Chains A and B, each alone.
Chain A
Amino acid sequence: MGHGFSTLLYKEVLRFWKVGSQTVAAPVLTALLYLLIFSHVLEGHVKVHGVIYTAFLIPGLVMMSVLQNAFANSSSSLIQSKVTGNIVFVLLPPISYLEFFAAYVLASVVRGFVVGAGVLLATFWFAPLTFAEPWWILIFALMGGAILGSLGVIAGIWADKFDQLAAFQNFLIMPLTFLSGVFYSINSLPPFWQEVSHWNPVFYMIDGFRHGFFGVSDASPWLSLSVVGSCLAVLTLFTLNLLKRGYKLRA
């Protein structure tokens, strides 16, 4: 990876940092509101894996924020660049498709981490949190952010208009993240929906991430790691192939 890669990464991070009120503060506030409302309604009524509900909810909200913001970063940057035409500034220099991919995905991971850390800081006052196996926290945040960052690259390249990107976000990313066990344990679901949840890769990202806090989870963290790792490998190869072919970027 050369200086072109590090410059593109720097530019992508600087881009979201310059509009931090939209890209960092707003999602932190949204997560905080979720916590206040759900914990107000359910606190004292529900315990999951022996953990009080608010404490159970916090890692889910942190990871959901990591994932949604990782997706938002690469997808919105690319669609804006395509629509305004300034994508040529990245296409004219000698930047390889591998560097292009790595810079956009890594910047997405950085945005996910910054927002996730913000959500954690804003919410951990509300319930006692433990960090039982912290390496799982890091691994799943990194891999989950990279998967959604990669999906963001695909969506940003595929979409020609903002409403196509919104459809991708509203009909794929939002249902996958909301129906992944952020707000509940899938063990509390009827058997059919438990089965359905097991086909949602985001469930494994959230479950593995939460395992790092409490040391307990719906699925084994090793199973989650293998599912999430496989998804990342497949998506990486798929996205690299799109970029190598110049799909919708180089006619």
Chain B
Amino acid sequence: MSAAIRIQQVSKCFGSTQALDAIDLEVRPGEFFGLLGPNGAGKTTLISALAGLVRADFGKLSVMGHDVQADYREARRHLGVVPQELVFDPFFTVRESLKIQSGYFGIRDNDSWIDEILENLGLTSKANANMRMLSGGMKRRVLVAQALVHRPPVIVLDEPTAGVDVELRQTLWHFIRRLNEAGHTIVLTTHYLEEAENLCTRIAMLKAGRVVALDTTANLLRRFSVHTLRLRTRQAIPPELTHGAAENGGWWSLPFDRFDEVEPLLAKIRAAGCVIDDLEIGKPDLEEVFVRVMQGQAN
């Protein structure tokens, strides 16, 4: 089966700034894919190139096998993009906006699907409200709805939860997960790494327009992050036990790979005469992976 998204050697310059530098990336159909990176890494430029808002200087991009330039109509029909900026058309109501957006994609009678989207995003009561009257969170929901009116098989969400409340996040992720389970390919960019860790099966990390890490989430966690035993002790831990550990505010973080290493480690600490006041076990997290990759410790 062909890739849902195929990006081949894509480069883009804005003046002297190299926004994308020979990017190669493939997203498989049905994947929940994360695109991570610091501000200015090129995530939004890459999404814009995919959506036809930016024209790549070199390379090829396709959506469900359709080239985004040569076969732009089919490529765009297969792609739904939730833009990062909170934009809206102040002249129209929520329902009018969604009907107009459907029409742009050549869909005439879309009321039942529009009703379903409104229901799933908690927008039913706001259907006839003017866009100007909505709160920021509600406007964000409408942006998501607008990206879905044409039932695109590939959905790209560019920081959809930036500055929104917990309720919307939960509603949104519940709905997006359902779409993913129904076979839609999802690409997500976010600065909330916990979200990416929970949702994405595969992750690409971008830095200065280049892909610096690309793997399954599980592999990235395994490669770049470890479990830690965090301890607060009444007495100083002997130096021979703190190899590779870090101390911060009276807490020691001791790295370990396997859980069967924990008990012998604790036994040694107790044997050294240390009394443990507090203890917790830290799981590997994407934030640590992200920091390491961005610091150039990727291998």
The answer to whether A84 has its CB under 8 Å from any CB of chain B is yes
B108 in contact with A93 (CB, 8 Å): no
B55 in contact with A14 (CB, 8 Å): no
A86 in contact with B103 (CB, 8 Å): no
Q: Smallest Cβ distance from B58 to chain A, in angstroms?
A: 15
The answer to whether A7 has its CB under 8 Å from any CB of chain B is yes
Q: Smallest Cβ distance from A159 to chain B, in angstroms?
A: 19
CA gap between A89 and B104 in the complex, in Å: 9
Known: A92-B51, A93-B76, A250-B54. A85 touches B103 (CB 8 A): no
Chain A residues in 8 Å Cβ range of B90: 84
A86 in contact with B100 (CB, 8 Å): no
Known: A4-B106, A18-B91. A92 touches B73 (CB 8 A): no
* Binary per-residue interface labels of chain A (89-113) against chain B in the complex, 1 for a CB within 8 Å, 0 otherwise: 1111111100000000000000000
The answer to whether A11 has its CB under 8 Å from any CB of chain B is yes
The answer to whether A176 has its CB under 8 Å from any CB of chain B is no
The answer to whether A251 has its CB under 8 Å from any CB of chain B is yes
B89 in contact with A89 (CB, 8 Å): yes
Which secondary structure characterizes the binding site on chain A?
Answer: helix
Interface size on A, residues (CB 8 A): 28
A8 in contact with B91 (CB, 8 Å): no
B87 in contact with A7 (CB, 8 Å): no
Interface hits, A151-170 → B, CB 8 Å: none
Q: Smallest Cβ distance from B91 to chain A, in angstroms?
A: 5
Contact pick for A94, options B48, B105, B108, CB 8 Å:
B105
Known: A4-B103, A85-B85. A92 touches B72 (CB 8 A): no
A11 in contact with B55 (CB, 8 Å): no
The answer to whether B52 has its CB under 8 Å from any CB of chain A is yes
Chain A residues in 8 Å Cβ range of B105: 4, 93-94
Chain B residues in 8 Å Cβ range of A11: 92, 100, 103
CA gap between A85 and B89 in the complex, in Å: 9
The answer to whether B175 has its CB under 8 Å from any CB of chain A is no
The answer to whether A175 has its CB under 8 Å from any CB of chain B is no
* Binary per-residue interface labels of chain B (79-120) against chain A in the complex, 1 for a CB within 8 Å, 0 otherwise: 101010101111110001100110111111000000000000
Q: Smallest Cβ distance from A150 to chain B, in angstroms?
A: 22
B104 in contact with A86 (CB, 8 Å): no
A3 in contact with B106 (CB, 8 Å): yes
Chain A residues in 8 Å Cβ range of B107: 3
Interface size on B, residues (CB 8 A): 34
Chain A residues in 8 Å Cβ range of B150: 93
The answer to whether A6 has its CB under 8 Å from any CB of chain B is yes
CA gap between A4 and B102 in the complex, in Å: 9
Q: Smallest Cβ distance from A121 to chain B, in angstroms?
A: 26
The answer to whether B146 has its CB under 8 Å from any CB of chain A is yes
* Binary per-residue interface labels of chain B (4-42) against chain A in the complex, 1 for a CB within 8 Å, 0 otherwise: 000000000010000000000000000000000000000
CA gap between A4 and B73 in the complex, in Å: 11
The answer to whether A19 has its CB under 8 Å from any CB of chain B is yes
Known: A3-B108, A4-B105, A4-B106. A86 touches B88 (CB 8 A): yes
Interface hits, A12-44 → B, CB 8 Å: 14-15, 18-19
The answer to whether B53 has its CB under 8 Å from any CB of chain A is yes
Closest to A19 in B: B91
Chain A residues in 8 Å Cβ range of B97: 89
CA gap between A68 and B51 in the complex, in Å: 35
Q: Smallest Cβ distance from A156 to chain B, in angstroms?
A: 15
Q: Which of A7, A81, A96 has the most CB of B within 10 A?
A: A7
The answer to whether A88 has its CB under 8 Å from any CB of chain B is yes
The answer to whether B77 has its CB under 8 Å from any CB of chain A is yes
- Residues of B at the A interface (CB closer than 8 Å) are 14, 48, 51-55, 72-74, 76-77, 79, 81, 83, 85, 87-92, 96-97, 100-101, 103-108, 146, 150
Which 9 residue pairs across A and B have the least CB separation, nearest first? A7-B103, A93-B104, A94-B73, A85-B87, A94-B76, A3-B106, A86-B87, A86-B89, A251-B54
